[in-house]
Amino acid sequence: MTDKVGFGLIGCGEIAVATAQEIAKTSTVQIVHTMDVAKELASDLADKYGAPNHTDNVDKLLADPAVEVVVISTPHFLHEPLTIKAVAAGKHVLTEKPIACTLTQADRMIAAAEKAKLKLGVLYPLRLNWQWRKVAELVGAGAIGKIIAVKLHTVYNKPETYWHGGYSGRRKDDWRVSLEKSGGGYLIMNTSHSIDAVISVLDPKPTRIYAEYGTFTTDVEVEDFISFVMRTEDGALWSADGASAAVGGESHGDRIYGSKGQLCPAWDGVRMFISEPFGDLKVGEWTKISKPADAPDGRRVMVEQFAQAVRTGGDVPVSGREGRRALEIVRGAYLSMKRGKPVTFPVQE
């Protein structure tokens, strides 16, 4: 093995491109093998990022001794079988979000990795973006007091082409429109990023959740608009609106309400309001803390930290068990709508 950790990419479609781009910016990770059933996609990423091998056969990638970590960037329903196959081959696994379609699948993945004493991580990079790390710092220091509520607002208007080819159209497929293959719509695909980010800051212990959702304007089996409310043990009230079919878009982003102020992470920084003195921040008016120009993308931070954990034996940034926490909230919301009543935690599928 070289000093760099060898990564093998399983699935070379849309999101794998973003991961490959961030790996290329690191000094600790290298792509050594790429795999996709559409071999031309594997060849494309191998050529662009200097991977010596590419294939359309997952067994060939898993047999490569240079591959220490596999990154699974496939449709959601393949996360479980590929993870179990990879750890059986002695590979650490970093899987795209969500960890799986169901909690039962997630539990099997976690058990397999733990039995093999291998790392299992979930690619939720939002929590490692500068904005959310700043929010964690401010909340931890008590800048906005006791947390009383969380509002998630991830509302967009996805083009019809997204459901069959993602945003890039790099690969045509129907898995996004299928409930069985995707596990759900906007909540599991997109809002779960925000759920995980807030989990990393607040470490909530949910008690119950109630959701309503529908498929209003999109020809799919999954939801294109969802709302939920959730209580946590400390009494905080969470609410969320997620949509892929909001004409005009205009997501207002996520917001954390405290007894002494508010925090609003955005792509270009963090907006906050405080009612009592804290550091050199202004009291009684909105202040923006700008994102540093050199702040690394959370995806890059994640692959670097995962590689470091592989080398040192330390903790990965978002473990399988952490990824399961976000999925439990997602599954709780879906089951609430299906059952027509609030669902309590722990969620029983």
Structure tokens, 15 = 């999101």
Model pLDDT for residues 192-240, shown as the tens digit of each residue: 999 999 999 999 999 999 999 999 999 999 999 999 999 999 999 999 9
* Contact criterion met (CB below 8 Å) for 84 and 95: no
pLDDT given for residue 189 in this prediction: 97
Q: Per-residue confidence at 1, pLDDT binned at 50, 70, 90?
A: very low
Distance in angstroms (rounded) separating the CA atoms of residues 342 and 332: 9
Helix (H) or strand (E) holding 57: none
Specify the length of the chain in residues.
Answer: 349
The domains of the chain, with CATH numbers, are 5-126+299-319 (3.40.50.720), 130-294+327-344 (3.30.360.10)
Mean pLDDT of the chain: 97
pTM over 0.95: yes
Closest CA to 119 of 88, 94, 82, 96: 94
Model pLDDT for residues 51-107, shown as the tens digit of each residue: 999 999 999 999 999 999 999 999 999 999 999 999 999 999 999 999 999 999 999
Q: Has residue 125 got a pLDDT over 50? A: yes
